[in-house]
Amino acid sequence: MELTGIPFLVLVVVLTVSAFLLGAAWLPRTGRSVRGFVTRLAIQLGVSALALLSVAVVLNNQNGWYANWGDLIGSRGPNAAGPGRDERREGS
């Protein structure tokens, strides 16, 4: 699945909306105990993280900051630009 593809964007948005609806439906069932507080906090943090991820994916699709997963995690292929092993040794 491509980082800038429509299927990934749709997947992230569907997960975000589903988590929001699940959280909204489940929150009234949590009680006023410590367990209920932790459950509400986890749901809120999860939905917030998914919403942030959705915005990041939309902005990346619009601006093209990361073309693929390798760009995102910082892995470099054999043809990547930048100083090679020999060039780093010469400067030392």
User: Which residue ranges make up each domain of the chain?
Assistant: 1-66
Compute the C-alpha angle 59/64/68, nearest 5°: 110
Cα 41 to Cα 38: distance, rounded to the nearest angstrom = 5
pLDDT on residue 56: 95
pLDDT at 18 over 90: yes
Residue 83 makes CB contacts below 8 A (sequence gap 6+) with none
Confidence of residue 78 (pLDDT cuts 50, 70, 90): low
* pTM (predicted TM-score): 0.72
How does pLDDT run across 23-64, given as a tens digit for each residue? 888 777 777 888 888 888 998 999 999 999 999 999 999 999
pLDDT at 79: 57
Q: Quick one: average pLDDT of 67-92?
A: 66
Q: What local confidence, expressed as pLDDT, does residue 25 receive?
A: 86
pLDDT at 83: 52
Cα 46 to chain centroid distance, Å, stands at: 11
> d(Cα 91, Cα 83) in Å, to the nearest integer?
11
**Per-residue tokens: 57:** 């994916």
Q: Give the per-residue pLDDT at 58.
A: 95
